[in-house]
Amino acid sequence: MSKHPHEKFMKRAIELSRLAGVEKKTGGVFGAVIVKDDEIIAEGYNRVVGDNDATCHAEIDAIRKAGKKLGNPLLEGCVLYTSAFCCPMCLCGAYWAHIKEIYYAATVEDSRKYGEFADDDYYAEMKKEIKDRKIKCTEFMRAEAVEVWKEFSKMEDRAKY
């Protein structure tokens, strides 16, 4: 039986989320990969706490690396896979980078429920329905991603910010 064509990319994003939140404890449970022509060109994970940098989110990390690798800040034709739906900063970063499409696993509600991430004030600025946004966003492999969130939620020494 063949796997979903996006599964290997989302699995890697989820692995990176575990690395950040559970193993290295450099920040929340967030991992991302950027793919072009069915090849991973950049990876990122949350290092907000590890680097003392509020902008060092997984998606921004991956976007920065992809731009350097391609020698262009515009990532035309690239797809972003992220372990949890993008915060407003990262979503806007994807727009700035001209990302073609986003696949996400855990939802905003999952990150709030399992990680106490409450970006509601920011999201209020972005009230459009997902289906009405310029970038197509597709929930994918939520159950697998939520398993990492559940593990993270039980850790007394997890990153909180």
Residue 59 a catalytic site member: yes
Three-class SS of residue 86? coil
Q: How far apart are CA 79 and CA 12, in angstroms?
A: 14
**Active-site choice (59, 101, 116, 144):** 59
Residue 40: its H or E element: strand 39-45
Q: Which residue in the block uniquely carries the two structure tokens 């407003």? A: 88
Q: Which residue in the block uniquely carries the two structure tokens 């793919």? A: 35
Q: How far apart are CA 43 and CA 12, in angstroms?
A: 9
* Phi-psi group of 71: left, alpha or beta (phi > 0 → left; psi -120 to 50 → alpha; rest → beta): left
Beta bridge partners of 106: 84
Three-class SS of residue 132? helix
Would you please indicate which residues are annotated as catalytic (active-site) residues? 59
